[in-house]
Amino acid sequence: MDRALWISWYDLPETGRDAYLKWAHDTYMPAMLERPSFLWAAHFKSEEKPIQSGVPAEAPGRLRHTDDASVPKGNAYVLVIAAETPHAFAHPTPRKLHASLSRSDQEMLALRGGERVNIMIDEDRIGGPEAKRRVSTAALSPCIQLGSFNAGTADEDEILAWYAQWRLPSMNRLPGCVGIRKLVSVSGWAKHGVLYEFASLEERNRHFPHHEKANPEMDAWTDALVRKLLHAPGSPIVAVRIASAVAKKGGGPGGLDETSIV
């Protein structure tokens, strides 16, 4: 039932970072999960040099990123909060919810730099070979890859077809993959999102980057489509989970450990 995601990308300064992380994990996340319909929260730290989708990060021309200066550029941390429906995030909206918090909480939130926010909902999802290893006491998996983008020069129907015909089904067979969600936006800059879950960063890096090479036709389709898309700054990110919490009133999608805060 966790179809709606409130996703926040942001940076943190060195000064105050440890205090912020303790507050986020011990105070903010549990408080958010006391709200009606909020199901789980997961906090991730981005890898400094992620391996991009199928090619080394330095490959020229593969990925295009927006040069719109109004789009915030934070990426070092990603906080994901889930609910049954996007309307759970409308009573009140995230901005108004944060404005209603205590002064000390708002001082912690003010440490977030370059914060970018999307509220997204599942377009579709599929489990990977490791889906059976989910447990109900942790949110998401130890490693994620999260892309957020607009169509750019791509045809929207081509994006729909590529995810439905190739990318989602291919993740069902990829070693180390726990699952994948194709997302569409309710609010925020990016219209599209894709959230991959992996059993570990090591397994993601071992199996994902070149998984299409065995199918030249699909590899060519991927390359042609990806070059047309317009990504958010730094997208896609690869990140490792540093904390998760699941609301007592409901179960989350699970992770791969047996604790609710890691």
Q: What would the pLDDT profile of 50-71 be if each residue is shown by its tens digit?
A: 444 444 444 556 899 999 999 9
Tell me what pLDDT residue 61 has: 67
Tell me what pLDDT residue 136 has: 80
Tell me what pLDDT residue 51 has: 46
What is the per-residue burial (b if ≥16 Cβ within 10 Å, else e) of 231-251? Answer: bbbbbbbbbbbbbbbbbeebb
Q: Average pLDDT for residues 138-143, to the nearest whole number?
A: 95
Between 61 and 208, where is the model more confident? 208
89-114 pLDDT, tens per residue?
A: 999 999 999 999 999 999 999 999 99
CA of 59: how far to CAs of 41, 113, 150, 205, 260, in Å? 34, 28, 20, 16, 38
Q: For a pLDDT cut of 90, what percent of the chain falls above it?
A: 85
Tell me what pLDDT residue 248 has: 84
**CA dist., res. 261 & res. 123, Å (int):** 28
Tell me what pLDDT residue 31 has: 97
Per the DSSP assignment, residues forming a β-bridge with 187 are 119
Domains observed in the chain: 4-246 (3.30.70.100)
Q: Average pLDDT for residues 201-230, to the nearest whole number?
A: 94
**CA dist., res. 26 & res. 144, Å (int):** 22
Tell me what pLDDT residue 250 has: 45
- 3-state SS, residue 215: coil
N-term to C-term CA, the chain = 23
For residue 201, give every residue at least 6 positions away whose Cβ sits within 8 Å of its Cβ, in sequence order, or none. 47, 142, 143, 238, 240
pLDDT beyond 60 at 190 = yes
Q: For a pLDDT cut of 70, what percent of the chain falls above it?
A: 90
pLDDT band of residue 135 (cuts 50, 70, 90) is confident
Between 210 and 191, where is the model more confident? 191
DSSP state of 26: I
pLDDT beyond 80 at 17 = yes
Instruction: Using DSSP bridges, classify how beta strands 192-198 and 143-150 pair: parallel, antiparallel or unpaired.
Output: antiparallel
Tell me what pLDDT residue 60 has: 55
Q: Average pLDDT for residues 166-184, to the nearest whole number?
A: 97
pLDDT band of residue 192 (cuts 50, 70, 90) is very high
pLDDT beyond 70 at 189 = yes
Between 251 and 155, where is the model more confident? 155
Q: Average pLDDT for residues 220-246, to the nearest whole number?
A: 97
Question: Quick one: tokens of 206?
Answer: 């071992």
**CA dist., res. 136 & res. 164, Å (int):** 28
Instruction: Using DSSP bridges, classify how beta strands 237-246 and 143-150 pair: parallel, antiparallel or unpaired.
Output: antiparallel
Rounded to 5°, the CA angle 2-4-10 comes to: 115
Tell me what pLDDT residue 69 has: 96
